[in-house]
Amino acid sequence: QSALTQPASVSGSPGQSITISCTGTSSDVGGYNYVSWCQQHPDKAPKLILYDVTKRPSGVSNRFSGSKSGNTASLTISGLQAEDEADYYCSSSTASNSWLFGGGTKLTVL
Amino acid sequence: QVQLVESGGGVVQPGGSLRLSCAASGFIFSTYGLHWVRQAPGKGLEWVAFIRYDTSNKYYADSVKGRFTISRDNSKNTLYLQMNSLRTEDTAVYFCARDFGGFDIWGQGTMVTVSS
């Protein structure tokens, strides 16, 4: 059960767009459309921002969007805002009745 | 208001046991699967265990299999995690999370420290 692979950090200026990748295998990310993304601010609980690869929960800004190609899923945040600075985690269900998280990506808004 | 509230964390010696609870409110508890997820200090999220809404299936991460047991009481709207044979590497904040298109609702977490 190895973690999904995410970049450790990304950065962008206010108003710009950034993309965070999440790479797994055909037994998890590539095999199912059950990839989700969470946002976590320091010392806070995670918050779901995308599920089923592209769907946004009610109340989540449409600046957050998702996609998937093969074994890699991506989270794109457009129109970066200071409040977007946080850690982001992808997750996926797997073929072995388990769930995997990515190692997390720290987003810095410059 | 949909809410999950964990309790039961604390300091325990290696080899010891602890039971965590997660009290739910604001939704029909008996119709949702539930997870435990943990986060070691300064580290990322790690999935721990899952239980279906009707307890028919329970799944565990390899790192806790045989030591942790997930359970629920739908009459009390409460999820549990019984942790036995605790190790120092189990030190983490433990979150419960509802399963709906991912981990859609999270509790605030409860800290478990395994130390001699």
Q: What is the pLDDT of residues A39-88, one digit of tens each?
A: 999 999 999 999 999 999 999 999 999 999 999 999 999 999 999 999 99
Question: A3: which chain B residues are within 8 Å (Cβ-Cβ)?
Answer: 44
Q: A101 CB near a chain B CB, below 8 Å?
A: yes
Residues B74-113 pLDDT 10s = 999 999 999 999 999 999 999 999 999 889 999 999 999 9
Q: Distance (Å, rounded) from C-alpha A50 to C-alpha A3?
A: 19
Question: A91: which chain B residues are within 8 Å (Cβ-Cβ)?
Answer: 45, 47, 102-103
How many cross-chain Cβ pairs, A to B, lie less than 8 Å apart?
66
Q: Distance (Å, rounded) from C-alpha B64 to C-alpha B13?
A: 17
Name the closest residue on chain B to residue A52, using Cα atoms.
B101
Residues B14-57 pLDDT 10s = 999 999 999 999 999 999 999 999 999 999 999 999 999 999 99
Question: B47: which chain A residues are within 8 Å (Cβ-Cβ)?
Answer: 91, 98-101
CA A97 → CA A20, A100, B32, B49, B61, distances in Å?
Answer: 26, 10, 17, 10, 9
Q: Distance (Å, rounded) from C-alpha A22 to C-alpha A49?
A: 15
How, if at all, do strands B33-39 and B10-12 pair?
unpaired
Please report the pLDDT score of residue A2 as a whole number. 81
Q: A3 CB near a chain B CB, below 8 Å?
A: yes
- Quick check: B105 and B4 in contact, CB under 8 A? yes
Name the closest residue on chain B to residue A60, using Cα atoms.
B104
Helix (H, G, I), strand (E, B) or coil at B97: strand
Question: B97: which chain A residues are within 8 Å (Cβ-Cβ)?
Answer: 46
Structure tokens at B54: 């009707």
**Is B107 close to A45, i.e. CB distance below 8 A?**
yes
Structure tokens at A98: 């388990």
Please report the pLDDT score of residue B101 as a whole number. 84
Please report the pLDDT score of residue A45 as a whole number. 97
> Closest approach of chain B CAs to the CA of A47, in angstroms?
7
